[in-house]
C-alpha cells in the first residue's frame, strides 16, 4: 500500500495480508502513515527469501517458454516504463488482442497491481469476440486460499476494463501443474473480505492496535509481534495455551 496524491492505494497482496493477520495489515499502514525513528521494524529479507524470489522469476520465465512452445505469442509490459505508461501499454495490448500479456498493469481504485499473465480466451467483451483471464505463478505445490483472493482482485480489475468478468482463473504451481478455478465460486467471499479490509483502512487509528495473539501468522511483522507479546508477557507465550483459553 502507498499514499497516492489524495487517497491510499492498495494491492491484492494487501488483501491477503489482512486475511492472514489484521495486525500485520495494521502495521503496514502504521509504518507508512506514522514513520518514526523508534518505530517497530518489519522483518528483513533473509537469504532464503532472496533465493525464492529468484526461483519465482525463473518460474515465470519457464511458463513463458511453455506458452511460446504452444505457439502463443507473449507480449511483455516493459518494467522500465512509468506506472502510467504501463497502464496505457497494457490497455493497448488488450485492445490489439495479444494472446498473452505478461506483467499487465491493472487498476480499479483503490486497488492497483500487476498480474503475472493475462491469457486471451473466446467470449464477447468490450474488446471484441474475446476477453482475458488471469493466470498466476506460485512456487507452492498446493493452492492456498490467499492465491484465490489475489486472483479474484485481478479478475475484478479486468472486468472493469473488458466489461465482463472472466469465467476462470488459473494458478501454475511450482511443480508445473495448472489448477483452474471458477471465479464466481470465490468472488463473493473475496468481496466480503475486501469490504472488511476497506472498513479497517477507513477506520484506521494509530492508537488502536488490533489484537495480535489471535492469529498464528503475522508475515513480515512476525518479529515485531513476538517482541510485543514477550514485552507484555502475554498468555499466548505459554506453549500449551490455546487462543480459546486466552479469550
In order, the DSSP letters of 42-81 are PPPP-HHHHHHHHHHHHHHHHHHHHHHHTT--EEE--TTS
- The lowest-confidence range among 34-38, 164-168, 242-246 is 242-246
C-alpha dist (Å) from residue 94 to 72, 106, 118, 204? 15, 11, 9, 37
Q: What is the pTM of this model?
A: 0.88
User: 13-51: per-residue pLDDT in tens?
Assistant: 999 999 999 999 999 999 999 877 566 677 776 666 777
Reported residue count of the chain is: 247
User: 204-233: per-residue pLDDT in tens?
Assistant: 999 998 887 667 788 888 888 788 878 776
What pLDDT sits at residue 8? 97
β-sheet bridge partners, residue 128:
125
Place of cell 506514522: 34
What pLDDT sits at residue 45? 65
Q: What is the dihedral of CA 106, 112, 114, 118, to 10 degrees?
A: -30
Average pLDDT over residues 78-88: 96
- The lowest-confidence range among 9-23, 50-64, 140-154 is 50-64
Phi, psi torsion values for 58, nearest 5 degrees = -65, -35
- The lowest-confidence range among 62-76, 77-91, 102-116, 223-237 is 223-237
β-sheet bridge partners, residue 180:
170
Residue 114 in grid coordinates: 500487476
What pLDDT sits at residue 159? 98
Place of cell 498464528: 216
How many CB atoms neighbour CB 44 within 10 A?
A: 8
| Contact predicate 105/93, CB 8 Å | no
What pLDDT sits at residue 227? 82
- pLDDT higher than threshold 70 for residue 238: no
- pLDDT higher than threshold 70 for residue 241: no
Amino acid at each position: 500500500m502507498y499514499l497516492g496524491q489524495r487517497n491510499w492505494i492498495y494491492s491484492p497482496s494487501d488483501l491477503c495480508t489482512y486475511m492472514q493477520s489484521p495486525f500485520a495489515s495494521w502495521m503496514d499502514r502504521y509504518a507508512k502513515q506514522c514513520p518514526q525513528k523508534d518505530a517497530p521494524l518489519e522483518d528483513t529479507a533473509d537469504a532464503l527469501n532472496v533465493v525464492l524470489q529468484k526461483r519465482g522469476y525463473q518460474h515465470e520465465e519457464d511458463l513463458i517458454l511453455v506458452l511460446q512452445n504452444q505457439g502463443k505469442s507473449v507480449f511483455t509490459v516493459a518494467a522500465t516504463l512509468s506506472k502510467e505508461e504501463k497502464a496505457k501499454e497494457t490497455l493497448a495490448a488488450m485492445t490489439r488482442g495479444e494472446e498473452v500479456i505478461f506483467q499487465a498493469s491493472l487498476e480499479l481504485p483503490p486497488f492497483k497491481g500487476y498480474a503475472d499473465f493475462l491469457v486471451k480466451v473466446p467470449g464477447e467483451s468490450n474488446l471484441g469476440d474475446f476477453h482475458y483471464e488471469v493466470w498466476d505463478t506460485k512456487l507452492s505445490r498446493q493452492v492456498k486460499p490467499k492465491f484465490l483472493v489475489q486472483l479474484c482482485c485481478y479478475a475484478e480489475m479486468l472486468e472493469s476494463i473488458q466489461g465482463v468478468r472472466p469465467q476462470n482463473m488459473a494458478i501454475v504451481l511450482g511443480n508445473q501443474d495448472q489448477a483452474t478455478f471458477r471465479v464466481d465460486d470465490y468472488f463473493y467471499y473475496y468481496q466480503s473480505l475486501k469490504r472488511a479490509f476497506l472498513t479497517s483502512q477507513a477506520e484506521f487509528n494509530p492508537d488502536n492496535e488490533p489484537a495480535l495473539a489471535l492469529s498464528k501468522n503475522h508475515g513480515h511483522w512476525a518479529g515485531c509481534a513476538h517482541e510485543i507479546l514477550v514485552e507484555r508477557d502475554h498468555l499466548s507465550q505459554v506453549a500449551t495455551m490455546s487462543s480459546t483459553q486466552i479469550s
